[in-house]
Amino acid sequence: MIMKKIKKRHMISALLVLIFILSMVTNPTKQEYLQFIGWEETAESIQIEIERVNFFMFSTYTPIVAHESGVTHLGIFGHFYQISDGQFDYPWWLEFFNSHERS
């Protein structure tokens, strides 16, 4: 009985460690984000700033154009998911981590 609990605990722990490592390895890069939104060449030519908040297991990306935030995407496991609608919908929990001053 006790051995089953210990074995189950070890299996769950190993699974969580595997998921953690997998999410870190597949955390998308800024270049992958630019390819996703189709701004690879545009970002360099018109100086668009991309705010990236890296949480190691996942990242958030927000384009900053003329001091205004664009749509924020969550990058996790190699995919991007929209988590805001743009300028007036910046996620409140990212305010603690952003490096861009908002006016």
Q: What is the pLDDT of residue 50?
A: 87
Q: What is the pLDDT of residue 42?
A: 61
Instruction: Give pLDDT tens digits for 50-61.
Output: 889 988 899 999
Parse the chain into domains and list their residue ranges: 2-94
**Average pLDDT value over all residues in the chain:** 84
pLDDT at 101 exceeding the cut of 70: no
pLDDT at 21 exceeding the cut of 90: yes
* Cα–Cα distance, 70 to 73 (Å, whole number): 9
Average pLDDT, stretch 17-42? 88
pTM higher than 0.85, yes or no? no
Helix (H) or strand (E) holding 7: helix 2-25
CA dihedral in degrees (9, 12, 14, 16; nearest 10)?
-140
Helix (H) or strand (E) holding 24: helix 2-25
